[in-house]
C-alpha cells in the first residue's frame, strides 16, 4: 500500500529523514513510532505530497506520491493534529462542501459517525474544542470509505475520554481499510496496530509485526549465588543492563529461552533463579529509544 525507497529530506544542514525504507502491507494497521522530532510528520508530509523529498521515492497504490491524481487522492483519508479547517463554516456546512468531491461519500455512515461522536452540526468550526475538531476531521476522512487512512499524531492534546472515543470510531469503521498512523502515544495503539516501525533521528531502527516484536522482547532478572561481575563482552541484544549485588537485570531484544540460559551460564554457571517477563509496547519503545540515544552519544559525541 505504501513503499518508501531511500527517502531523504534535508533542511539545510539538518537531515529530517535519512534514507527511510518502509513497506506498509495492504490491510494493515501500521504504526510509525518515535520521539518528537524523529521524522514521523516529515514522512507523512512527503507521502501526502505536501513536501518533496530531497532524494529517494515514495509510492502509494504503486504510484509515485508526486504524481497522485485526484482519483487516487479521493481514496486517501488524512487526519493531522495541525490540519487547518475553515473556521467560518459550521460543521454541517463543511460536510456539505466536501460531499461532491467524493463519489463514494456515504450519508448513512456520516449520520452514524456524527451520532457516535456527538458532534454539533450547527456549531462553527472555530468554536469547536480541540477534541471535537479532531473527531470532526476523522469523520470527514471516513465518510467516503478511503482505502488508506493516514493519521499524523491524532492523539496529541486529547484527554483520555476523547482518545477512547476516537479509537472506538476508528475501530468501528476500519474494515478492509489500511491505516498508517504516526504517534508517540503508545498505549492507544497497542491493541490496534498489526505492524510497527520505529524511527529515530530520521533513521529506521526496525520494522516488524506486533506479534514478532512482542515475542522477541523480555525483561530478564537473574539471581546468582554470588555477586555478579558484568563482563566487558555481553550480547549486543542485551539492553539496559544493570547489576545490583547478585542480581543481573536487562532487556533481551532477541529472546530465546534456550539461548538465554546458555548466554547467562557463560557469565555465571550457578543461577539461583531466573525470570523473563513480557514487556508492553511503551517499555519496549523507551528501552529502544534509550539504546538509540546511547549509540548516538558514542558515535556522534551527542544525541540530536
Kindly state whether residues 272 and 164 are assigned to the same domain: no
Kindly state whether residues 92 and 239 are assigned to the same domain: no
Kindly state whether residues 100 and 233 are assigned to the same domain: no
Q: How confident is the model at residue 249 (pLDDT cuts 50, 70, 90)?
A: very high
Nine-digit cell at 109? 455512515
pLDDT, mean of residues 187-197? 84
Rounded Cα–Cα distance for residues 304 and 301 (Å): 10
Kindly state whether residues 229 and 107 are assigned to the same domain: no
**Residue 185: which CATH number?**
3.40.50.300
Kindly state whether residues 132 and 58 are assigned to the same domain: yes
Residue 302 lies in a domain: no
CB 25 within 8 A of CB 1: yes
Kindly state whether residues 44 and 186 are assigned to the same domain: yes
Rounded Cα–Cα distance for residues 171 and 188 (Å): 12
pLDDT of residue 281: 87
Q: Which structural domain, as residue segments, surrounds residue 157?
A: 2-209
Residue 286 lies in a domain: no
Q: What is the mean pLDDT of the chain?
A: 88
Q: CB within 8 A of 260, min separation 6: which ones?
A: 218, 220, 252, 274, 276
Nine-digit cell at 249? 537485570
Read off the pLDDT of residues 69-108 as tens digits, 9 standing for 90 and up: 999 999 999 999 888 899 999 999 999 999 999 999 999 9
pLDDT of residue 294: 74
| Whether the predicted pLDDT of 303 surpasses 70 | no
Give the residue carrying C-alpha cell 504517534. 183
- Domain count for the chain: 2
Task: Give the pTM.
Answer: 0.84
Residue 301 lies in a domain: no
Rounded Cα–Cα distance for residues 22 and 180 (Å): 11
Kindly state whether residues 140 and 181 are assigned to the same domain: yes
Share of the chain above pLDDT 90, in %: 58
Residue 298 lies in a domain: no
CB 156 within 8 A of CB 81: yes
Residue 290 lies in a domain: no
pLDDT of residue 35: 82
Residue 83 lies in a domain: yes
pLDDT of residue 245: 87
pLDDT, mean of residues 267-293? 85
pLDDT of residue 298: 35
pLDDT of residue 300: 38
pLDDT, mean of residues 165-192? 79
Kindly state whether residues 153 and 51 are assigned to the same domain: yes
pLDDT of residue 93: 97
Read off the pLDDT of residues 3-44 as tens digits, 9 standing for 90 and up: 999 999 998 888 899 999 999 999 999 999 988 888 999 999
pLDDT of residue 296: 61
60-74, 215-229, 286-300: least confident range: 286-300
Residue 289 lies in a domain: no
Kindly state whether residues 247 and 128 are assigned to the same domain: no
User: Which has the higher per-residue pLDDT, 124 or 272?
Assistant: 124
Kindly state whether residues 251 and 155 are assigned to the same domain: no
CA distances from 137 to 17, 20, 108, 165 (A): 27, 28, 17, 13
pLDDT of residue 299: 38
Kindly state whether residues 50 and 184 are assigned to the same domain: yes
Kindly state whether residues 197 and 224 are assigned to the same domain: no
Buried b (16+ CB within 10 A) or exposed e, 104-115: ebbeebbebbbe
Nine-digit cell at 170? 476508528
Residue 92 lies in a domain: yes
Rounded Cα–Cα distance for residues 242 and 256 (Å): 20
| Whether the predicted pLDDT of 184 surpasses 80 | no
The residue from 209, 227, 242 where one domain ends is 209
Amino acid at each position: 500500500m505504501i513503499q518508501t525507497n531511500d527517502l531523504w529530506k534535508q533542511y539545510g544542514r539538518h537531515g529530517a529523514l535519512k534514507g527511510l525504507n518502509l513497506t506498509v502491507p495492504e490491510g494493515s494497521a501500521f504504526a510509525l513510532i518515535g520521539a518528537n522530532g524523529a521524522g514521523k510528520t516529515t514522512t507523512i508530509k512527503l507521502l501526502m505530497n505536501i513536501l518533496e523529498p530531497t532524494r529517494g521515492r515514495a509510492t502509494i497504490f504503486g504510484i509515485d506520491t508526486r504524481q497522485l491524481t485526484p482519483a487516487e487522492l479521493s481514496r486517501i483519508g488524512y487526519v493531522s493534529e495541525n490540519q487547518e479547517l475553515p473556521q467560518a463554516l459550521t460543521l454541517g456546512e463543511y460536510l456539505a462542501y466536501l460531499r461532491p468531491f467524493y463519489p463514494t461519500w456515504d450519508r448513512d455512515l456520516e449520520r452514524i459517525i456524527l451520532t457516535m461522536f456527538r458532534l454539533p452540526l450547527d456549531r462553527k468550526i472555530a468554536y469547536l474544542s480541540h477534541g471535537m475538531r479532531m473527531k470532526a476531521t476523522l469523520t470527514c476522512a471516513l465518510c467516503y470509505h478511503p482505502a488508506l487512512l493516514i493519521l499524523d499524531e491524532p492523539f496529541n492534546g486529547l484527554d483520555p475520554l476523547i482518545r477512547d472515543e476516537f479509537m472506538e470510531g476508528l475501530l468501528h469503521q476500519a474494515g478492509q481499510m489500511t491505516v498508517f498512523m504516526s504517534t508517540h502515544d503508545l498505549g492507544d495503539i497497542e491493541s490496534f496496530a498489526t505492524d510497527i516501525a520505529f524511527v529515530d533521528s530520521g533513521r529506521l531502527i526496525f520494522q516488524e509485526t506486533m506479534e514478532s516484536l512482542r515475542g522477541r522482547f523480555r525483561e530478564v532478572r537473574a539471581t546468582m549465588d554470588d555477586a555478579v561481575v558484568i563482563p566487558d563482552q555481553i550480547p549486543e541484544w542485551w539492553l539496559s543492563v544493570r547489576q545490583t549485588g547478585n542480581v543481573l537485570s536487562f532487556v533481551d531484544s532477541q529472546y530465546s529461552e534456550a539461548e538465554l540460559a546458555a548466554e547467562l551460564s557463560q557469565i555465571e554457571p550457578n543461577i539461583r533463579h531466573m525470570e523473563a517477563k513480557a514487556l508492553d509496547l511503551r517499555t519496549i519503545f523507551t528501552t529502544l529509544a534509550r539504546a538509540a540515544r546511547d549509540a548516538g552519544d558514542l558515535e556522534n559525541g551527542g544525541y540530536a
